Structure 1
Amino acid sequence: MNRTSTIRRLEPGQVDVWCCATDEPRLLNQYERYEAILSDEEKEEYRQRQFSTQAGAYLVSRALLRTVLSEYCDLAPEALSFGTNEFGKPELLGEATRHICFNAAHTHGLTLCAVSGGQAVGIDVEFQTDSAGMLDAADDYLSADEATALRSVAEEQKLSAFFRYWTLKEAYLKARGQGLSIALHEFSFLLDGMNVTQFIGPDAARWDFRLLAQDNDFTAAVAVDGKISQLNAFHSMPLISSRELASLQDILPAN
């Protein structure tokens, strides 16, 4: 694939968040093109999922990741190489991509990718519909302070509040890239609605967080090892079109 577009630049503290609805019907005609840009390992993974309901979502997610990341370096999507750290966190390999940090998240019908210029980043998105049962196990996932705060929330708002904590915690763990070496109970977020007012945990002063968006179905959050000075949102249909979004809330599919 020939590269014709200008390489995107990342300023210090800038985080770009990309989204794609994996069940978008217009993507179906692109599946052969998507498979063509995958690595041999990704193609094998896709083939193993052929009889799964998640095969298409996997293919679109990998295509989104490759096409997005290629916009930040002088490499075609199929030329990107991926590895993992000792805990399994994905990372780009090669000199041309050493300035790029990224993380991806997937849930029911939606994939997100966050990109930063050299700052470790983690992103999480959760499909909260029909997940009310999570509240019964909230104490297993939250710190004592978070659990106490959740109990003070009105019953009809509890599930949304729980997922705000949960996505932030997941984003932080993914950004650190050290698996569950830090227990979920060992760090806390203090929230005021969608605003993170305080983070209490390891190296707390280094980290910055944002709740990106929430509606009746989804919640998304991002964590960055460094201060966030700029957050941009983009929508992509891989190899078809991309556009900047007016609001981070627009990363979620329209109801």
Structure 2
Amino acid sequence: MWQQPPKELSITAREVHVWRANLNLPIARVNELVNILSEDEEKRANRFYFEEHRKRFIVARGTLRLILAQYLAIAPEKFKFKYSDKGKPSLKGEQLQFNVSHAEDLALYGFTLERKIGVDVEYVRKVRDVENIAERFFSEREAEIIKQLAPEEKITAFLHFWTGKEAYFKATGEGISGGLDEIEIDLNSGLLRIKGDSQAALGWCLYKIIPGKDYLGTVAVEGQDLKLSFWKN
């Protein structure tokens, strides 16, 4: 599923490119990546209390710049990001759209042309009170599905719902403050309803992915009948 990217990268309007990257790199490589970050990104990195979190941020942002450079043939240190009110980064004047998520030692990136995209990845771990969390933040239907599942299946279902919602809200730029129960997801077919509207959901696709051992993720993309490619950095 995950392949080495071609030497010359290009993307069309009907394509979605998903990348994964390992964030656990030797300190020498981390120090190299610091050099291509902006001053603002360096300041953000230095605000992390734990060194491990600082290094992960540097690698995630440095890798993003390196991937963007492959698509746009621009030196990675030259990119200047703009940010929405909710903090979603984008490139001014570029058709290429992207989104980033990372958990523990793995980062996930999504790229499209002039098409909204959001990605979310989570590390699979024990979540306490899964049923109670679902009842508080998910739709009644989603909470009932989790309730009916066997204990060993609850966490996986919960994370598929969670990453689907996160990815969608990241794609729209709204953030989850709008309410996780504003959208309803089917574990098999994807997005069911947006604010109770099933027709609105037809304009989106949700793709469940497994980017690595003990990780689950979702890619949310505006549109239908799209071709996905999976690249490893």
Question: TM-score higher than 0.5 here?
Answer: yes
What is the percent sequence identity of the aligned residues? Answer: 28
Aligned-partner Cα distance in 1 for 2:212–2:19:
18
SS in 1 for 2:210: strand
The one-letter amino acid of 1:30's match is R
Query: Which stretch shifts more, 79-88 or 132-141?
Result: 132-141
Structure 1 partner of 2:171? 175
SS in 2 for 1:53: helix
2:20–2:211: 8 Å Cα contact kept in structure 1?
no
Query: Which stretch shifts more, 54-63 or 205-214?
Result: 205-214
The one-letter amino acid of 1:110's match is L
Structure 1 partner of 2:28? 29
Q: Deviation of residue 52 (structure 1)?
A: 3.2
In structure 2, relative to structure 1, the CA distance for the partners of 1:169 and 1:197 (3 Å cut) is closer
Q: Deviation of residue 6 (structure 1)?
A: 6.3
In structure 2, relative to structure 1, the CA distance for the partners of 1:51 and 1:157 (3 Å cut) is closer
SS in 2 for 1:71: helix
Structure 2 partner of 1:161? 157
- What CA deviation, in whole Å up to 9, does each residue of 1:207-237 have, x standing for no partner? 111001277621100001112521111111x
1:173–1:179: 8 Å Cα contact kept in structure 2?
yes
Determine if the alignment matches structure 1 residue 8 to structure 2 residue 9. Answer: yes
Given candidates 204, 220, 223, the residue that maps to 1:223 is 220
1:122–1:222: 8 Å Cα contact kept in structure 2?
yes
Aligned-partner Cα distance in 2 for 1:87–1:57:
21
The one-letter amino acid of 1:33's match is E
Aligned-partner Cα distance in 2 for 1:109–1:126:
11
The one-letter amino acid of 1:8's match is L
2:166–2:176: 8 Å Cα contact kept in structure 1?
no
Q: Deviation of residue 61 (structure 1)?
A: 0.4
Aligned-partner Cα distance in 1 for 2:216–2:224:
22
Structure 1 partner of 2:115? 119
Aligned-partner Cα distance in 1 for 2:211–2:36:
32
The one-letter amino acid of 1:230's match is K
Determine if the alignment matches structure 1 residue 81 to structure 2 residue 80. Answer: yes
Query: Which stretch shifts more, 35-44 or 197-206?
Result: 197-206
- What CA deviation, in whole Å up to 9, does each residue of 1:67-102 have, x standing for no partner? 011111131110111011233211112x3xx11100
Q: Deviation of residue 36 (structure 1)?
A: 0.7
Aligned-partner Cα distance in 1 for 2:55–2:71:
25
1:141–1:166: 8 Å Cα contact kept in structure 2?
no
Q: Deviation of residue 50 (structure 1)?
A: 6.8
Determine if the alignment matches structure 1 residue 63 to structure 2 residue 28. Answer: no
The one-letter amino acid of 2:31's match is E
Residues matched between the structures, number: 224
Determine if the alignment matches structure 1 residue 49 to structure 2 residue 48. Answer: yes
TM-score, length-normalised on structure 2?
A: 0.88
Structure 2 partner of 1:109? 105
Q: Deviation of residue 7 (structure 1)?
A: 5.2
In structure 2, relative to structure 1, the CA distance for the partners of 1:230 and 1:107 (3 Å cut) is same
The one-letter amino acid of 1:201's match is I
In structure 2, relative to structure 1, the CA distance for the partners of 1:104 and 1:214 (3 Å cut) is closer
1:101–1:116: 8 Å Cα contact kept in structure 2?
yes
List runs of 5+ in structure 1 lacking aligned partners: 237-255
1:21–1:110: 8 Å Cα contact kept in structure 2?
yes
Aligned-partner Cα distance in 2 for 1:136–1:216:
27
Given candidates 177, 183, 192, the residue that maps to 1:199 is 192
In structure 2, relative to structure 1, the CA distance for the partners of 1:174 and 1:54 (3 Å cut) is same
Aligned-partner Cα distance in 2 for 1:146–1:50:
36
List runs of 5+ in structure 2 lacking aligned partners: 1-5
